[in-house]
Amino acid sequence: MKPRRWNPDTVAAPLGRYSHLADVPAGYRLVFLAGQLGVEPDGTLAGADAETQARQLFANLGALLAAEGAGPEHLVKLLTLVAGTEHLDGYRAAQAEVFAGWFPGGDYPAQTLAVVAGLARPEYAVEVEAVAAVPI
C-alpha cells in the first residue's frame, strides 16, 4: 500500500493541481521538508522571475526527497507561498511543467496556495514546503 490521495465527491472539485485528501498508511514515516526557494545549490538565486524560481525549488524538493530514498510519489502535502499575485502565472506554469512529469496520472498531493506580502528576502517570489510519506 502507498500513500493515498483523492477527491471525494462530497465537496467541490479542486481548483488546481492538488487533491483534497491524503492519508499515510501503516509502514510509512512522515518526512517534513522545509520551505524551499528558487536558489541553486551554490546559494545563488536561479532567476528573477517566479517561473524560474519555481522550477529550481521543485528541483530542490526532488533532491531532498532523493536524500531520503524517496521521490515525488511520496509527497502528501505542499504549502505554497507566492509573494504577490503578479507571480501566480509564473508559479503555475512551472508547477504544470513539473507536475506533468512527477504526477502524469494527475494523482496530486494535497496542497495549499497562499499569496503573501513577501518572503524572507524581497527577491524571492515563491516558496514551497512539503510533507512526504516514506516507506519504513
Residues 20-39: tens digit of each pLDDT: 888 898 999 999 999 999 99
Check whether 7 has a pLDDT greater than 80: yes
Q: Which pLDDT score is estimated for 6?
A: 79
Q: Which pLDDT score is estimated for 34?
A: 96
DSSP result, 3-34 = -EEE--TTSPPPSSS-BSEEE--TTEEEEEEE
Strand partners, 4: 23
Strand partners, 115: 82
* pLDDT bucket at 41, cuts 50 / 70 / 90: very high
The closest of 35, 47, 45, 51 to 89, measured between CA atoms, is 51
Residue 8 backbone dihedrals phi, psi, to 5 degrees: -65, 155
Which superfamily, per CATH, for 27-135? RutC-like (3.30.1330.40)
Residue 54 neighbours by CB distance under 10 Å:
30
Residues 63-116: tens digit of each pLDDT: 999 999 999 999 999 999 999 999 999 999 999 999 999 999 999 999 999 999
Domain boundary assignment for the chain: 27-135
Check whether 118 has a pLDDT greater than 90: yes
pTM: 0.92
